[in-house]
Amino acid sequence: MDIDQIKTFLAVAAHGSFLEAANRVHVTQSTVSARIQNLEQALGARLFVRNRLGATLTPAGQRFWRHAKTMMLTFEQARHDVGLPSRFTASLTIGARIALWNDFLPRWAGRMRQVAPDISLNTEIGFEEDLMRRIIAGTMDLALMYSPQQGVGIQVEHLFDETLLLVGTDPNRQVPDDGYVYVDWGPTFYAQHRKVYPDFERPAQTANIGWLGLQLILANGGTCFVPERVAAHYLRGGCLYQVRGSPTLRLPAYVVYSVETASSVLDKALDVLRNLIEAGAASAVEADLSERA
């Protein structure tokens, strides 16, 4: 089994065609067939069913697909680490939900470039399932998310609580109504939402990320829950308002990493992360005291 076989397998799985896979990986169709045959022999299982419509994964192929993705990610990360320019001593891969890349993590990246310019940063967006899988597989160093999973050798550290505001194009809008977009912030949000709106039925619109919820209400009107720091720009600009009388909900944010890959690089990244949060908390207290004065 080699990396070309893995790459070819993923190309066939993605396009459902040996011919199209050959075009994608720039080899002949007979080479694709030979690679898949050798891979099947090495695994002792048939990976594809071929017919006039193309190629589809067998149950064994579906199970192998996840491993193949992980193997490719591991290879790409290894190639990146080995090929680092001499001015870098190490690399760090960090992934997070898209909302956490709004203002917060870019500031972390900027701080990291200042205090550790010899560390190369690989930044990614993802959902909990993929982020956790990457941490477990060792192809990601840090992952920030809202609904982490516990596991052997996995450290889950609470960072801060997001304040979720109900924002909309009309501050007096009645909620929930047909213009309400339910953003799936995970099980913690669902439990709080259910408590606040016990009679709430399935909404007319749902979104799996806050950014999408915002785009929907900005284009069409309506309301949705988003983190206060994400909504701040829109609130200051006057294009969105916090709905009067609406509740604020809390959404814990966590950082996840493997204890088996502990290193000075990881410690540095975590220290910068914690210091940034502490500085933000101090600024919030100062702002609150200033407003009261």
**Strands, DSSP E only, in the chain?**
48-51, 54-57, 90-96, 119-125, 142-145, 154-168, 181-183, 205-207, 223-227, 241-242, 249-258
Q: Count CA atoms within 13 Å of residue 282 on its CB side.
A: 6
Every domain range in the chain assigned CATH 3.40.190.290: 87-293
User: 223 is written with which tokens?
Assistant: 């309301």
Q: Which fold has domain 3-80?
A: Arc Repressor Mutant, subunit A (1.10.10)
Question: Which pLDDT score is estimated for 228?
Answer: 94
Residue 280: what pLDDT? Answer: 75
Interatomic CA distance for residues 101 and 144, integer angstroms: 10
Token pair of 37 as six digits: 């045959």
Cα 57 to Cα 39: distance, rounded to the nearest angstrom = 14
Secondary-structure class of domain 87-293 per CATH:
alpha beta
Q: Tens-digit pLDDT profile for the chain (293 aa)?
A: 788 999 999 999 999 999 999 998 889 999 999 999 999 999 999 999 988 888 999 999 999 998 888 888 778 777 766 666 677 688 889 999 999 999 899 999 999 999 999 998 999 999 999 899 889 878 899 999 999 988 888 999 999 999 999 999 988 877 778 899 999 999 999 999 999 998 888 888 999 999 999 999 999 999 999 999 999 989 999 999 999 889 999 999 999 999 887 788 999 999 999 999 988 754 443 344 344 44
Tracing tokens 């213009």 back to the chain, one arrives at 179
Positions of CATH 1.10.10.10 in the chain: 3-80
pLDDT score for 279: 85
- Give dist(CA 72, CA 78) in Å, integer: 10
pTM (2 decimals)? 0.71
What is the token pair recorded at 8? 């070819």
Q: Which of 43, 37, 34 is nearest to 62 (CA)?
A: 43
